[in-house]
Amino acid sequence: MSDQHSFETLAIHAGQEPDPLTGAVVPPIYQVSTYKQDGVGGLRGGYEYSRSANPTRTALEENLAALEGGRRGLAFASGLAAEDTLLRTLLTPGDHVVIPDDAYGGTFRLFAKVISRWGVEWSVADTSDPAAVRAALRPRTKAVWVETPSNPLLGITDIAAVAEVAHQAGARLVVDNTFASPYLQQPLSLGADVVVHSTTKYMGGHSDVVGGALITADAALAEELVYHQNAMGAVAGPFDAWLTLRGIKTLAVRMDRHCANAERVAELLVAHPKVTEVYYPGLESHPLHEVAAKQMRAFGGMVSFRVAGGEEAAVEVCNRAELFTLGESLGGVESLIEHPGRMTHASTAGSPLEVPADLVRLSVGIESADDLLADLKQALG
């Protein structure tokens, strides 16, 4: 499949040629652990054991690489499994990482409670400000970690500008592209060295599969990541890979609807008297709206807002919502609502990444926008 095809075409066809044995247009689920070898060391198609490689996972990994414009994609059992493998590939004890002041709670927990015990140091910077990133660099900084848009405050980082800062210091730039998806943003083309995804979210898109991914255009780094993926073993299973591929086929059309619905939700919230602040990069009032417009196709399906009345009022909004399902995760076709301080970001309490107590986060789905607006109005009271 030529990488000259449009995104929508690549999403459906890259890595997914019809099965040569039967002509099946969907890659089979190779639910198998091991493979018959053609003599000792004679691997048929390069497959020997499904931790090392599996044809269904290969199809997904080729698709991921095509969509992000990378040389190699790797699929994992979860987004955090992908992150852990990447960090243990890039870092050794004594190294340093710059992390954002707004990020997924699980990512922060991985740095603060797991990787730090391995002797890796980290410090926090406002990655929306390249000068702040530069000031946070140390002699042993090996990576700068970015989420854009960020979780849950929808901050925006100028990927090209921060890539320049990182590379001048000899560090790699890692971009978590989960909130945008490769349909809206392609960090590798802007200078990132590695892209991270929780494919559980928009890539899978249907709240029925957990997975993660790494994509890079660096051939040498790709070889290291493949080695560590096999050595550490947190790979995507064949059925999970198949479900993710199925979701990706409709990624473009789903994201168009997510974005359109989120824009209407943000407009409602901005005008509502019980909302004190709205976080959405599609709003012209967003401090980095122009940067988002420059590096994104559209502004995504995530919206966060603060509620007058404080934490208890925010919790009540979450509890009163009906069409917006109270739950963690995001990026599915159904709309979700949550209280980050008590749910997805509880692990950041007391840290520089602690989120406002009156914050509510929405994952705006693809239902009727009118129905979603009506539900928010009644939830806000």
d(CA 203, CA 249) in angstroms, rounded, equals 9
Residues annotated as catalytic are 51, 104, 176, 201
d(CA 280, CA 29) in angstroms, rounded, equals 39
**Single-letter residue type at 248:** I
**Single-letter residue type at 134:** R
Structure tokens at 39: 């003599």
* Count of CB atoms situated within 10 Å of the CB of 333: 15
- End-to-end, the C-alpha distance of the chain in Å comes to 52
- Does residue 242 come out as left (phi exceeding 0), alpha (psi in the -120 to 50 range) or beta? alpha
Q: Where are the alpha helices (DSSP H) in 93-136?
A: 105-109, 130-136
Is 54 in contact with 75 (CB distance < 8 Å)? no
**Single-letter residue type at 381:** G
Is 219 in contact with 81 (CB distance < 8 Å)? no
Query: Could you tell me the strand order of the sheet in which 302-307 lies?
Result: 275-279, 302-307, 359-363, 336-338, 325-326
Which letter, b or e, does each residue of 289-328 get, where b requires 16 or more Cβ atoms within 10 Å of its Cβ? bebbbebbbbbbbbbbbbbeeeeebbbbbbebbebbeebe
Is 116 in contact with 358 (CB distance < 8 Å)? no
Helix (H) or strand (E) holding 62: helix 55-68
Is 191 in contact with 218 (CB distance < 8 Å)? no
d(CA 45, CA 73) in angstroms, rounded, equals 18
* Count of CB atoms situated within 10 Å of the CB of 90: 21
* Residue 145 phi, psi dihedral angles, 5° rounding: -105, 130
